[in-house]
Structures are given as structure tokens and as C-alpha cells.
Amino acid sequence: MTLPSGPLAVSDLHTTNGTRRNSTLICAPVMAESVDQMLVQMRKAREVGADLVEIRLDFLKNFSPRQDLEILIKHSPLPTLFTYRPAWEGGQYKGDDNKRQDALHLAMELGADYIDVELQVAHDFYNSIQGEKPEKVKIIVSSHNYQKTPSTEEIGDLVARIQATGADIVKIATTALDITDSARVFQVLVHSQVPMIGLVMGEKGLISRVLSAKYGAFLTFGTIEAGVVSAPGQPTVKDLLDLYNFRLIGPDTKVHGVIGNPIGHSKSPHLYNAAFKSINFNGIYLPLLVDSVANFINTYNSPDFVGYSFTIPHKESGLKCCDEIDPKAKEIGAVNCMIRRPTDGKLLGYNVDYLGAIAAIEEGLQALNGSSNTSGSLLAGKLFVVMGAGGAGKALAYGGKEKGARVVVANRTYDKAKALANKVGGEAITLAELENFHPEDGMVLANTTSVGMKPRTDQTPISKKALKHYSLVFDAIYTPKWTRLLQEAQESGAAVVSGTEMLLNQAFVQIENFSGVPAPKQLIRDVLARNT
């Protein structure tokens, strides 16, 4: 599916710092059991930067319509959207539906800015008010699908049905079974002839909530506090504004992201979005929870989807989706960076993992040796043990070979270790054998497996007693920054290098590749320090 897009031009890529580039509103759901608690949440919503509040009447205990609505409308510091969601549409209300609709009618009379009415009862509601709608109020007619995201045609038909009710604003909320589901909503959203809210719920639908600004949605939802959501997958208002630079997203904003599974732990969006804003680059960088790289690339194939980083487990799958591959990436057999060439749309694959990781290890060895060593790499001649034979393992093994190290590949399955070792002229062993592998002291160890990554931070890929034979231990994991492996290596007397150094080094390279502008290195270091 090709998403609508204009051609990429140099003039598209830069924007004035601080300029608002879209009219999409940020709405904060208010879901408290009392009116007083709701008023507190409303004030917080204004403080964090929301444009309006959605007051979820179905969460109130002992709701007294006239009294409570008057207080909420009179004292709200922001424009109000009233929703009284019934259980049959995913809400909390289980009472008489006529009373529910009467409360929404009353909210209109008392000065609400917006009310939300479900498609299933929209005709009844419009008949009941008999055209007596205050000019100020806008009626949102909504449809929620908690099972899936229908086809583009079905969504289009649904929008037409909602428009036919007389809705001022159309709202469609579906559920993401795959990250590609959002493309169908974007397709309808960008062609809508009336104001439309189009969202895809769930972690795989996050892209729809952030890029709603790019495709012209009337509003998106952001929570006041992390984890307190009115629908699955909602980001916070703070993240929308500060992490994703929501106000700076426009129709011509270029989309980048990190492709992985899992991906929620990634710090890359913090680094790249801060850098893009700093250099006035008109781009957004998203965490992309992808099951199939090929499906993702084939779906989001417009010229506006221009650059990706790859992490576990998709570095090798990414290679297969490239039209052209850098020779070093081809030799490694994995990519961690993909760029769409603007002239012809071809996808170019690179691997900067080995640059970032090897540079970090060399810096660690220099600190250990107390020298800058200008005559060559301090890895030269070292026995360099790489744990893992996936994409990152291949990059480290290749980098070690290039620097003159004697490479040993340790992997859970011997065949994969052997295949990689053969490529770099090294030795292969299993991870189990690594426990008693110490032909010499002063070896260098690099972990590229996911063992020890958040949330399983109590795990480690090698026992503490086996670490005493290493002079330096590097862990590609950066969540947490100090893994159990690094802590135990340090206790065993080894120098340690965190995956944050690899993350930084490769971020510098990729940001320049994406933007064409030198990366603001100190800013990126400062951002990472604040987020680890």
C-alpha cells in the first residue's frame, strides 16, 4: 500500500525551531471517581500541555448530572470533550441508555465544547435533540473495534456511515494486530473530507497516535500520567510533546524509526528526536514494533518513510529487504541502518554496529592501557571472544577480524558459531564450553546476546568465575546500562564497556546519514545520560 506523499526536496527537510506545523490537538483523558479528582486531573492536563480534556463520565461514582456537569464545565481550565462510554463500547457505564444520552444532551446545553456519541446510537441521539444543538458544541460520532483493524474499504465505508449521521467529527478507533494496520487508517484519514480522528490501539498502533499529526487528524490522545490510559497504547502528553516533538510534525515530515521486537526499551527515539530538533531537521524517529520486516517495508513504501535502524532480532531480515547493500554490511551478513535514496526510492543497507562497538572497545582498552596508541588498534593480536552469532555478533566478529584480533565465536548452537567463525577465520565453541574456556589471560569478551536485558536483569550469559580471565568485557545491552555481566566483570577485575557507548557511536553516524548534518554529539550524550 502506497501512502500519499509529496516528492522529497531539500527545502522539505528543515524547519524553524519552535514552529507549530500541524493543527492536531492533544486530548488528555480524565478518568476519576469524583468530580474533585477530575478537577485536579484537568489542572494537571493543562500543566503538561494538553489542548483539551476528555471527561469520562462513566468513571464517576454517584454521578449527579446537572450538578456535576455544571462544576466540570465551569471550572475546566481547558476545552471539554464529554464521553459517557457504555460497557458495550468498551466503557464503564452499565445503566439505562436513555439516561446516558440525556446526560450528554445536558452537557451540550451547559456549554461542553465537544461530546462523543457512539455510532450505534447516533441516529437515536440526533432524533432526540431534534436539531437543538448549540452552535458552539461539536458532536463526535465514534466507532471502536477492539478485535482488529478492518480493510481500507471497510474503514472507508464506516467513515461514510458516520458522516451520514450528521457528525461534525468522525472518530474511528481500531486495534493493531500488526504495525502495518495503521497504514489503512492513514490511507482513509488523509483523504477524509470531514474532520476525523483515526487511531489504532495497542503497542503496535503507537505509530498511528504520533503520526496522526502528519496525516491531518483532528486530535490524538495523550495520558496525563504514564500507564493511566483510557485505551491501550496511549503515550503520555509529555512524550508526545517532548519525546516526539509532536508540534513540529507536518505533512512533509520524514519518518524514521528503530525496527525491533521487543522495542519498548529502546532509548534511540530520545536521542534521534532530540538531535533532529536541535539541527532543525524535519524528521520524526519512532519505536517500531515489527513482526515481519518485509511486510513493514512493503506497506510503508512512500517516499516519506526514509530511514530505519535495526535491532534484535531483525538485523539479518533487514538485509534481505535492501535493494543495495554496502560491501561491509554484505560481508557481515546483517544491516543496522537502512536509508531510502530520494532520487529513485531504492533502499540502501549499511552496518555501523561494528564501527560503534569496536570504537567503544578500543576506547576501553586505551583507558586500560593508559595510552592513545597511535600505531594501530589495541585489539590487534588479542583473543577476542564474541558471544552470539546473530546480526550484532556478526558485526563484532567482523570488526575484530578487521582490527587484527584472533576471533572466537561462542553461540548457543555450535553450527551458527562455526558458520560465523569460518567467515572471519576464527574458532567456534558453544556457550556451554565458554565456561571453561581460558587458553590465556587478558582476553576481551563481547556479549551480543539479549541475556540480561531488561526486564530479565537478573540473568547473565556467563558465570562470574569464568570472567577472571578477561581484561575487558563489553556488553551490547544498554537497558540496563550496568548489566549483571558488567557488574560481575568489574568485581572480577576486568575493565568494562557499556552498550551505551556503542549506542552513542552508531547514533552519531546514523543521524548524519539520515539528516546530512553532523550529529550534535554532546547533546546526544546529555540526552542519553538523562534517560538511563
Residues near 86 by Cβ (< 8 Å), separated by ≥ 6? 58, 93, 94, 97, 100, 118
For this structure, is 74 an active site residue? Answer: no
Phi, psi of 131 (to 5 degrees): 80, 0
Show the CA angle centred on residue 239, arms to residues 141 and 265, nearest 5°.
Answer: 115
CB 173 within 8 A of CB 144: yes
Phi, psi of 272 (to 5 degrees): -70, -40
Catalytic one of 138, 267, 270, 315: 315
122-129, Cβ contacts within 8 angstroms, sequence gap of 24 or more: 122/162, 122/165, 122/167, 123/165, 125/101, 126/165, 126/166, 128/101, 129/105
Order of strands across the sheet with 254-260? 283-289, 254-260, 305-310, 337-340, 347-350, 324-325
The cell 570504537 sits on which residue? 359
CB 349 within 8 A of CB 318: yes
As a whole number of angstroms, the distance between CA 389 and CA 319 comes to 15
C-alpha neighbours within 13 Å on the C-beta side of residue 449? 21
For this structure, is 438 an active site residue? Answer: no
Phi, psi of 163 (to 5 degrees): -60, -40
Distance in angstroms between the alpha carbons of the first and the last residue of the chain: 38
The partner residues of 260 in beta bridges, in order of sequence, read 289
Beta carbons within 10 angstroms of residue 227's beta carbon: 7
As a whole number of angstroms, the distance between CA 212 and CA 173 comes to 12
Query: Helices (DSSP H) in 111-171: which residue ranges?
Result: 119-129, 152-164
CB 477 within 8 A of CB 489: no
* DSSP-derived secondary structure letter, 57: G
Catalytic one of 105, 171, 267, 314: 171
Element (H, E) at 486: helix 484-491
For this structure, is 61 an active site residue? Answer: no
For this structure, is 171 an active site residue? Answer: yes
Catalytic one of 12, 105, 138, 144: 144
Q: What separation in angstroms does the CA of 95 have from each of 58, 70, 101, 143?
A: 10, 22, 11, 20
Give the three cell numbers for residue 284.
520524526
Phi, psi of 320 (to 5 degrees): -70, -15
Catalytic one of 51, 178, 353, 475: 353
The greatest distance separating any two alpha carbons of the chain, rounded to the nearest whole angstrom, comes to 88
Residues marked active site are found at: 144, 171, 315, 353
